[in-house]
Amino acid sequence: MLITLLNFTAETGQLEQAEDFFIHQREYAPIAIAHFESREEAEAWLNGAVEPPSPARILIGDEYHQLGYTREDKTRGMCRDYAIEPVTESMTVRGIPSPVLSFATRTEAEAWLMKHPADPYDFVATAGAYWFAVHHRRLNRHLGRGTGEATHRHWL
């Protein structure tokens, strides 16, 4: 199975990406294969796929979800996946690291991040609220998750 997987990776021209993933996987945001604005949009995609990838992570808004599909009975499903929370918790255990970029609105922060992606994580402030900015290279997105005493928020 592993040899077949390596052959597939080589034959589809993805060796550099595979090597990059294995060498730098801890430096990147958890991988997601697609982004959807709403759960309804994600469910329509999942139910419309002949054979959806499984397991796989997707983003719905700013949150990770795990997909599952069973070939035998065609069962499909998704549930919330807390893939980024351990990262935010470990980075904020002693408070928010400095320096923090500051913006008036989330729209301004997102515009700046599209030109200067977090590498892979950064903290920004918008209107006095702190956000954990995560650059998701594959989807060219930023997930935002606010950080505070009781909650953690991030951008991907």
Quick one: pLDDT band at residue 67, thresholds 50, 70, 90?
very high
Q: Which of 83, 99, 121 is the last residue of a domain?
A: 83
User: In Å, how far from its chain's centre is CA 18?
Assistant: 18
Let me know if residue 9 belongs to a domain.
no
Residues 36 and 97 both lie in one domain: no
Q: Which of 61, 83, 105 is the last residue of a domain?
A: 83
Residues 44 and 71 both lie in one domain: yes
Residues 99 and 47 both lie in one domain: no
Quick one: pLDDT band at residue 77, thresholds 50, 70, 90?
very high
Residues 89 and 151 both lie in one domain: yes
What residues make up the domain containing 150?
85-155
Let me know if residue 90 belongs to a domain.
yes
pTM (predicted TM-score) = 0.71
Per-residue pLDDT reduced to its tens digit, 83-113: 888 877 877 888 787 767 888 888 888 788 8
Let me know if residue 14 belongs to a domain.
no
Per-residue pLDDT reduced to its tens digit, 31-42: 888 899 999 999
Residues 76 and 45 both lie in one domain: yes
Per-residue pLDDT reduced to its tens digit, 124-151: 888 777 887 777 777 766 666 555 433 3
Query: How many domains does the chain fold into?
Result: 2
Let me know if residue 22 belongs to a domain.
no
Residues 96 and 149 both lie in one domain: yes
For residue 20, pLDDT over 90 is answered with no
